[in-house]
Amino acid sequence: MIRLRGIHKSYWMGANRLHVLRGIDLAIAPGEFISIMGASGSGKSTLMNVLGLLDNYDEGEYRFDGELLKDLSETRAARVRGERIGFVFQSFHLIPFKTALENVALPLYYRKVPRRQRLRLAAEYLDKVGLSDRATHLPRELSGGQQQRVAIARALISQPRILLADEPTGALDSQTSREVMAVLQGVQDEGVAVVIVTHEHDIAEMTDRVVHLVDGEIESDRRQERRAAFDVPVPGTQLPPPREATALP
């Protein structure tokens, strides 16, 4: 589905050139669950941004379904992002003055889906991440884990082919991290490729494939048997209602 060949990317810090990606070759198949690991400065976030068309690259080829994506205009990049790629960020990046439901519905607004249909779909996706009872809450009224699940629902609503998550659990405690990872595993089960960046080994263990980056190059790329995220009861696609809800009398 996605094929990277010889991707190079440098940043200019004043007069110094910072060669961040030094020839990345990577293929991602539909439904894969990949974690990218590496020390800070190894280029994992940059690779993520290139994959997500959030940033351009200097050399090499990025093909999506065989189509070369290079030096796209912002408008074109926005369209590709909107149609094929979903994002989850470490700090959630929900729009603070919109309710959970409206945040989830936002991508469909840019795809010109009528409002009524948009909100119905958003409710559906909120339900998928177990937050249908939080639809009218603003982000600041939600816990970190809940916010991240809203962000995941938002990323999924436009039915992307691939979901990119940059340190999705970086701002969460291990308990909540597991909830979020369970949701991501459920997503991946539906055939959406998921790529996460992480530096936590126990998080990487929950994925099918671990790519190690060192100094902008792929040092190792191995497949593994993933571990289910829920060694604790967590809300998720095919799981009982969320903890918060059950705690209520």
Partner 1 sequence: MIDFDLWQEILDTVRRNKLRTALTGFSVAWGIFMLVVLLGSGTGLQQGVEYQFRDDATNSIFVRAGRTSLPHQGMRPGRDVQFDTRDYDTVRDRVPGVEHSSGRAFIRGSTIVRYRDESGNFSVRAVHPGHQFIEKTLVRQGRFLNELDQREFRKSAVIGTLVAEALFGKSPAIGREIEINGVFFQVVGVFDDDGSEQERELVYVPVSTAQRAFGGRDRLAQILFTTGDATLEESQEMELSVKELLANRHLFDPADPRALFVTNNVENFQRFASLMAGIRAFIWVVGIGTLVAGVVGVSNIMMIAVKERTREIGIRKAVGATPFSVVRLVLEETVLITAIAGYAGLVLGVFTLEGLARALPEADFFRSPQVDLGVALSATLLLVVAGALAGFFPARRAAAIRPIEALRDE
Pick from 110, 173, 220, 241: which binds partner 1 (CB under 8 A)?
110
CB 232, min distance to partner 1, A = 30
Cα separation, 2 vs 178, whole angstroms = 27
Max distance between CA atoms of the chain, in angstroms, equals 62
Query: Is 115 an interacting residue with respect to partner 1 (CB under 8 A)?
Result: yes
Distances (CA, A) of 191 to 72, 188, 197, 240: 27, 5, 19, 22
Q: Say how many residues touch partner 1, by CB under 8 A.
A: 29
HSE, CB side, 13 Å, CA atoms: give it for residue 192: 27
Provide, rounded to whole angstroms, the least separation between the CB of residue 245 and partner 1.
27
End-to-end CA distance of the chain: 48
**Shortest reach from residue 177's CB to partner 1, in Å:** 20
Give the x-and-dash track for 70-109 against partner 1 (CB under 8 A): ----xx--xx-xxx---x-x-x-xxx-xx-------xx-x
- DSSP H or E run through 47: helix 44-51
Question: In angstroms, rounded to a whole number, what is the distance separating the alpha carbons of residues 84 and 158?
Answer: 8
Q: Rounded to the nearest whole angstrom, what is the least distance from the CB of residue 190 to partner 1 in the complex?
A: 19
**Stated length of the chain:** 249
By beta-carbon proximity to partner 1, the closer residue of 17 and 110 is: 110
Q: Element (H or E) spanning 202, and its range?
A: helix 201-204
Q: How far is the CB of 114 from partner 1 (least distance, A)?
A: 9
Nearer to partner 1, 16 or 75 (CB): 75
Contact positions vs partner 1 (CB under 8 A): 49, 52, 54-56, 74-75, 78-79, 81-83, 87, 89, 91, 93-95, 97-98, 106-107, 109-111, 115, 154-155, 158
